[in-house]
Every structure is written in structure tokens, then in C-alpha cells.
Amino acid sequence: MSPSHSPRAPFGLHGGRTFTPAGYLASTLDGYSQLVVPGAEQVWAVGEVDLGDAVRLLRFYLDDEDYWLQVVMNGSVAGDTLLFGYHSVVPLQGQAQVQQLVGPGSKVGLPMYEHDGYLYSRQWGSGQGQAELVPFSEQVGSPEASYRIRHLAMLYARDTGLPGRREFLLLSVEEDAQGHTSLSTSLGVTLHPTDFYVT
């Protein structure tokens, strides 16, 4: 079954449903997070990442291609929910450029990472040295196609100053089925279940 029509999807989210942020969300985050909250958007595609031990990432890509939701699933129970917006997507030409941007000589994977004047702390890996990027595979389904994306990613986070909300920075080298590779930089923020509704 395509993940876009999975009965296990949380909050009633699946392809064709509309995600609407609560009216207060944009003003709540203003001055605390760099993420600009979108308006109401339909879910266009759904991605699923199997992390093992009954843990999955579900990703709901919105009609506005700059935004997506991520929900951590523990079995059938929804855990951390994040709203992400793409900050940049840079096409990569060859392994040399990949190594230049995310390899041992880069800052990606170090315990702290600076982005737009803010410092983020590494969420994956341990120790004071550079951690390796985490590989995972995402199966994506949309009304037009089903395809797989390979990721090499590193997650960072910082406190926003708002109770229960952090801002996340996700750096990911993504390779599609055609072999096209890009480096995406996404900013995300913690969502509470009352921060949005789905119709």
C-alpha cells in the first residue's frame, strides 16, 4: 500500500488532506524561530522511513513544495511532530563536491554548527569529533509516482526560548532514483497537536 493512503497515518494526515496551522502559530514563533509558517496547504506526497524496532518517520510533503511535516511514529503512536521548511537545495555534481560540502573537511557533523548567526547542537552521534552522516532510505508516494530517495543526513537543534519548542536544522545529501544528488538544508520547529488541524 502506498504511504500516501496508509491507514496508520497520524492526525488524519494523508494525500489530499489539508494541513492548516493554527492562527496563533505564526505570531507565537515570530522572533523566536526563523521558520516562516505557511498558510493552509494540501498534502501532496507522503514519505516513510523505516528506522527499525517499530519506529518510523512519516513525512507529509505539502503542495507548497517549500514545506513538509515530519512525525516520529513508535508503532501506531505519534511522537515528535515537526514542521520543516526548505532553506536551500543545492544540486551536487559528483562525489568531489559531496566531500567538499559534507566530508571530513567540512563543518557538517561537528558538535556545533552555525547557520545564519545561530548556533545549533548536534543531535546524532557522540564525542567531540566529527560524526558521520546518518544513512536512511525514504519511500515516497504521490498521485503521480512512487519512488525512493537515499539520504545521508545530520540533525542539529537549538532552544528557541519558548517552552517545549526547539528549532531544528536538517542537512541532507539526497539521491533520487535517477542518480541526481542535492544537498538540502531545512529549518524545522516543534509542533504541538493543538498547533494545527487537518481537514
pTM here? Answer: 0.91
- Distances, alpha carbon 100 to alpha carbons 82, 91, 92, 106, in Å: 29, 13, 10, 6
What gap in Å lies between CA 168 and CA 161, rounded to an integer?
13
pLDDT digits (tens, 9 = 90+) for 34-84: 999 999 999 999 999 999 899 999 999 999 889 999 999 999 899 899 999
Provide the pLDDT for residue 36: 95
What gap in Å lies between CA 7 and CA 50, rounded to an integer?
16
Provide the pLDDT for residue 4: 42
Whole-number percent of the chain with pLDDT over 70 = 96
Domain total in the chain: 1
CA 145 and chain centroid, separation: 20
Domain housing 68: 3-198
Burial of 58 (0-12, 13-18, 19+ CB in 10 A): buried
Q: What is the number of H-type helices and E-type strands within the chain?
A: 2, 12
What gap in Å lies between CA 65 and CA 43, rounded to an integer?
10
